[in-house]
Chains A and B, each alone.
Chain A
Amino acid sequence: MADAAVRTHLELGDIQALVLRGHKELHWASYLFFRVADAAGARTTLRALVDERAITTAAAVILPKHGRPRARVQLALSHAGLTRLGLDEASRKSFAPEFQSGMAEPARSRRLGDRGASAPETWELGGATHALDVLVCLFAPTHHERDELAAQWIERLAPSLALELQQDATPRRGDREHFGFRDGISQPILRGDPTRDHIPEVDRIADGEFLFGYANEYGMLPAAPRTAGGVDLGRNGTYLVFRKLEQDVAGFWRYFHDAAGGVGTEAERLAAKCMGRWPSGAPLSLSPERDDPRLGADDAHNNHFMFLDDDPLGDRCPVAAHIRRANPRDAKSGDREDSIVMVRRRRIIRRGRPYGPPSAHPRPLDGDGARRGLYFIALNTNLGRQFEFVQQTWLNNPKFAGLSNDRDPVVAQDAERGAVSLPGSPFRRRLAGLPSFITVRGGEYFFLPGLKALVRLLDACAS
């Protein structure tokens, strides 16, 4: 790179910033979904965005010589969007099958656990309800600027791209999601990310797990999309998973309140057992008995732990706990190295943000009628091996790591017969009758292209 202080083989000027940064310092975000109303016009409009540098690159937010942009914009396309923009079938077939079929495909719903109240037929976003062709993610420092930015972009893309849906995120309250737990702590970092030296080695992952055009954790270039004529469309791009997850916050705390016999501290302890972290973010693996807000806030220590040696049976952090399922670290198999290698090949980058008002009470027992939840966003180059695997084989799998019939107590949206076992003495305590606290309200798979590849893609759509 031109900047002497930053050395990396990543083409930061071509990569959308979201792959490397979550724009956390910009508290206000909005997700705009557009329908392609006029393919030729839409292609011209999208092309102009690249020429005008309207899409934020990693270079703009990482390289110190740039003035940090006040507002940031990222752009992604769904398979339906590529079709409507005019991309030929042979080229579309080079994209991942998961992306081609879309998130609402019936067998996929079974895999992802999107059934019952979470089934695509009920979705308010995606499914058969909306044409989610183009996704524009906007990030701004203030509420007012975010709203202005959204209005500008709707106008800018009209009329060839028509607004289908606007989804506004709300700022996190102290880094916490709606249930009241600090989240987003354990996050893989691209090996080529030039400014993340303090991250433990185990979280530094091959760039190709998150970007086409670079070697992945198998030492191979991930199978990238390309045109029928062999023009690469993948380089510096990745797949973006968007899911709208509604959270039943009062239901969550009511369940643990009842399971704890009405004792507030015990309710918090049981909920923390199910999460694997205390509300502050302090992991049970390091602080098994009580919350430790100082540890929770200390990013140099709050994610520095393993499971296999200190806690093989889950006496501290239960095997079924959410964070142990989402990232089993060294305890996926009986062998540490083997497990770490396997887990490294299944990481996802998470860029989610909450929506809806925070609850007035930190542990509400009664609903306030407001709808709230998480816009879950994940980035990866292999939807089947990464996002879908984590969802199906780790989070939603009642047989995870030898378990018998346990669900992810926090995020399983498919808990017909939910139960979770918390190891204890002289024997486990089983929390039964565990309802789902999450309902999927919609989602879709998108492709977040590198900027040069976006231009090539638009050219391919036009030919």
Chain B
Amino acid sequence: MSGPYALTVVAPIDSERRAALDAALAEIARDLDGNRLVPFGALGTTHFARFVILPPAPPWARDLLVFESNHDGEPDEYLDHLARVAGAGLDAIFGCCVGWPAGGVADVDAYGAFMRAHRRPAAAFHMGYRGYGKATVKNDLAVYEAVEAWLDEAEPDRSRLAERGAMQLRGRIARDVARRAPKLSLAAAGPSYRTLLIVLLAVPLAPVIFPTYAALALLLRGREQRDPVETVDDPPIAIEELNALHAIEDHVVQNQLTHLAIIKPGRLRRFALRFALWVVNLASRFLYNQGHLGGITSIHFARWVILDDGRLLFLSNYDGSWESYLGEFVDRAHIGLTGVWSHTTGFPRTRFMICDGATDEEAFKRWTRRRQLPTQVWYSSYPESSIDNIRNAIAVREGLRAHCGEKECRAWLTRL
């Protein structure tokens, strides 16, 4: 399996049905797992998902509804699965959009046509546990908890257990966990993702990337010195808007970010943006497929989508606080992010596309907040687990029965 996959659906909202849409989204948000419209708890292959409403891009007048899902299984299969489990919800929600078939999801062909017409590709997509399905992640988190519980119970015996050595200890834990929780899978099944092969494919790309970058940087140099930029002297986001964003943050381990920027005019800019996103996407697949993206360690799933109306949509599902996430952007990943967002309006002053920009920390954070939108519905499958926890749980489960010696088993125990 090479997933998870990114599904993005963007549909114009029928303004006369806006109230019904707001009501449906509010109903879902009240009970994410069990609501009657889109019961996320029953969508067994959905890692993270959201519904968010975007304001119109002049001269267009319609608001846009975006559905984002990070899911296992082939995209077409997933759309069938959605129709089966959340058909009522899709009818209620996309029924408020222009062009939804009169027969709703029941009209299988029309449903498929609508989704095809409104799906937008991710220009770049990053995932924190490539190759691991939700069932595996959930299984491994449960195995981890079972091992932790075993250790808690064994606490009074620790001095006696210490005499036995780590290998024996690990063997006993594996036996006991298997006996107590027979439904959990302890099989050492790694991801099918083949890093080596892909690295071999990626290396020849270097001679393409650097000359293209150099040419673009030179061609855009004049414009980037003249483009209007936002600085710390511009007023920050209004406190009411900021508080509206704060109100939906820090409820579970992850947070969501919906960010919408306007792409600067000109074909060269559009090409440069596509190129930058292509490089980021490449880096995410080949360089940063071990849980971090250019030094950012907290992203479960993130994507950039170029909208038809010339705007760049960024959707991210990340661990921890907004300040820590944006701080990692600035402290560690500013080159990549500047390379992308320098092609959108107002971005802090850059040099050669990738220098400066996000390193103007306060200006960059203000620029980001001003373009952030409240997310109406947001679902996380792992409200109590960080990406570090998930990757550690995978390693604990994989190590439970791996062939290894005393030293490796001791190291395995330090993961707990």
Residue positions of A touching B, CB distance < 8 A: 93-94, 97, 100-101, 105-108, 110-111, 218, 220-223, 313, 333, 338, 341-342, 345-346, 382, 384-385, 388-389, 392-393, 397, 399, 402, 404-405, 423-430, 432
CA distance A432 to B243 in the complex (A): 35
Whether B243 and A107, one on each chain, are in contact in the complex, defined by CB atoms closer than 8 angstroms, is: yes
Segment from B154-162, B276-284, B371-379 that makes contact with A = B154-162
Contacts of A397 on B, CB cut-off 8 Å?
320-321
**Minimum C-beta distance from A208 to chain B (A):** 11
Whether A220 and B362, one on each chain, are in contact in the complex, defined by CB atoms closer than 8 angstroms, is: yes
Contacts of B236 on A, CB cut-off 8 Å?
93, 97, 223
Segment from B68-76, B209-217, B244-252 that makes contact with A = B244-252
CA distance A56 to B63 in the complex (A): 57
Whether A392 and B321, one on each chain, are in contact in the complex, defined by CB atoms closer than 8 angstroms, is: yes
24 A-B pairs whose Cβ atoms sit less than 8 Å apart in the complex: A97-B237, A97-B239, A107-B243, A110-B250, A110-B251, A111-B249, A111-B250, A220-B361, A384-B323, A392-B323, A393-B321, A397-B320, A397-B321, A399-B389, A404-B389, A425-B162, A426-B165, A426-B166, A426-B169, A426-B413, A427-B158, A427-B416, A428-B151, A430-B148
CA distance A371 to B148 in the complex (A): 38
**Minimum C-beta distance from A251 to chain B (A):** 22
CA distance A38 to B232 in the complex (A): 34
Instruction: Return the chain A residue nearest B332 by Cβ.
Output: A338
B360 at the interface (CB under 8 A from A): yes
Contacts of A338 on B, CB cut-off 8 Å?
295, 331-332
Q: Mark B333-366, 1 if CB is under 8 A from A, else 0.
A: 0000000000000000000000000011111001
Instruction: Return the chain A residue nearest B162 by Cβ.
Output: A426
Q: Mark B145-189, 1 if CB is under 8 A from A, else 0.
A: 000100110110010011011100100000000000000000000
Contacts of A341 on B, CB cut-off 8 Å?
331
Whether A402 and B152, one on each chain, are in contact in the complex, defined by CB atoms closer than 8 angstroms, is: no
Interface of B is mostly: helix
Contacts of A333 on B, CB cut-off 8 Å?
295, 297
Given contacts A220-B361, A399-B253, A426-B410, 19 further A-B contacts (CB under 8 A): A93-B236, A97-B239, A105-B243, A106-B247, A110-B251, A222-B362, A342-B332, A385-B327, A393-B321, A399-B319, A399-B320, A399-B388, A402-B388, A402-B389, A404-B392, A425-B162, A426-B158, A427-B151, A429-B158
Closest 7 CB pairs of A and B: A107-B246, A223-B232, A402-B388, A399-B386, A393-B324, A218-B361, A223-B362
CA distance A458 to B372 in the complex (A): 35
Instruction: Return the chain A residue nearest B412 by Cβ.
Output: A427
Contacts of A220 on B, CB cut-off 8 Å?
232, 360-362
B9 at the interface (CB under 8 A from A): no
